[in-house]
């Protein structure tokens, strides 16, 4: 059995520690902040020990050696290591808020204090944007999870669902969300369904969601809903094979409505069911999951 390596990278403050805890619970041997220079010898050691699943977190704390990582990953793939890369992202506003709440210093920030709050925030934003540039290449080749609006428990659930998904040429993630809370950063495709009939304005349906039978039945009665589903399905059926040929292994399809409760949830459920027969299909409901 080949060694399974999960590399976790991402923005500082985006939840890498939470991700490592979830992976430890799932049986991975986890290492935080491994210097890139030690990656190849560390994996060689784990293979000698016949380890099966290893998770390693790397980020900008690795400094000037970070550009070594993509080449090292290709080398490991060539040596037969089963490798997956996960990138945790978040909006700049969310990261600024988290640093303000914890009063920790960003690893790229060089200010030692003694300045007013607006200046501190400006320096923090500059550090975050520099970090995005430094990590851009690692993000491009990774599965991305946007942690801006999700709780730590949600992130742990998403990661456990991802690693538990059966192996296939492509993993599809269908994600519902509310436009009023922002578009997910991890979305590869975004479909706006706010023009569809809205169960929110039906008093008996308002408190329910798109997984409840009365809402499902009501939405199925509207031709525009069926037409939207058909259009999204046709688009994905046309292009998924091309994505596989382009060596994509993970695609997130985000469906957004006003509140992320009825229409987007319904369509995510239907699409995951429809595509689950051929591909590995996961479901996320950003707003509903936050309430559970």
Q: Is 13 annotated as a binding residue?
A: yes
Residue carrying structure tokens 């900008």:
60
Q: Is 249 annotated as a binding residue?
A: no
Query: 42: exposed, middle or buried (C-beta count within 10 Å: 0-12, 13-18, 19+)?
Result: middle
Entry pTM: 0.83
pLDDT of residue 111: 56
pLDDT of residue 67: 85
| Token pair in block for residue 198 | 């809205």
C-alpha torsion 154→158→159→164, nearest 10: 140
Q: Is 211 annotated as a binding residue?
A: no
Q: Is 113 annotated as a binding residue?
A: no
Per-residue b or e along 240-258, where b marks 16 or more CB atoms closer than 10 Å to that residue's CB? beebeeeeebbbbbbbbbe
Residues near 132 by Cβ (< 8 Å), separated by ≥ 6? 11
Q: Is 75 annotated as a binding residue?
A: no
The C-alpha atoms of residue 143 and residue 7 are separated, in whole angstroms, by 10
Q: Is 160 annotated as a binding residue?
A: no
Q: Is 58 annotated as a binding residue?
A: no
Q: Is 63 annotated as a binding residue?
A: no
List the chain residues with pLDDT less than 50. none
Q: Is 104 annotated as a binding residue?
A: no
Q: Is 65 annotated as a binding residue?
A: no
């Amino acid at each position: 059995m080949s060694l399974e390596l999960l590399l976790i990278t991402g923005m500082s403050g985006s939840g890498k520690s939470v991700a490592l805890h979830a992976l430890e619970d799932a049986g991975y041997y986890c290492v935080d902040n491994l210097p890139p220079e030690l990656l190849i010898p560390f994996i060689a050691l784990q293979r000698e020990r016949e380890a099966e699943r290893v998770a390693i977190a790397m980020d900008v704390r690795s400094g000037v050696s970070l550009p070594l990582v993509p080449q090292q990953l290709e080398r490991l793939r060539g040596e037969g290591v089963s490798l997956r890369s996960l990138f945790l992202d978040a909006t700049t506003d969310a990261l600024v808020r988290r640093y303000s709440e914890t009063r920790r210093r960003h690893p790229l920030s060089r200010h030692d204090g003694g300045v007013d709050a607006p200046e501190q925030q400006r320096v923090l934003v500059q550090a975050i944007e520099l970090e995005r540039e430094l990590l851009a290449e690692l993000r491009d080749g990774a599965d991305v999870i946007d942690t801006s609006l999700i709780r730590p428990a949600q992130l742990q659930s998403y990661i456990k669902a991802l690693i538990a998904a059966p192996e296939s040429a492509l993993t599809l993630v269908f994600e519902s969300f509310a436009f009023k809370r922002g578009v997910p950063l991890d979305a590869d495709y975004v479909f706006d369904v706010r023009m569809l009939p809205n169960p929110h304005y039906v008093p008996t349906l308002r408190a329910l969601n798109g997984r409840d039978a009365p809402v499902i039945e009501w939405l199925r009665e509207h031709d525009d809903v069926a037409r939207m589903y058909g259009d999204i399905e046709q688009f994905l059926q046309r292009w998924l094979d091309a994505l596989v040929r382009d060596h994509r292994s993970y695609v997130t399809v985000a469906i957004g409505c006003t509140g992320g409760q009825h229409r987007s949830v319904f369509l995510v459920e239907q699409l995951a069911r429809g595509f689950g027969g051929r591909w590995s299909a996961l479901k996320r409901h950003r707003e509903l999951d936050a309430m559970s």
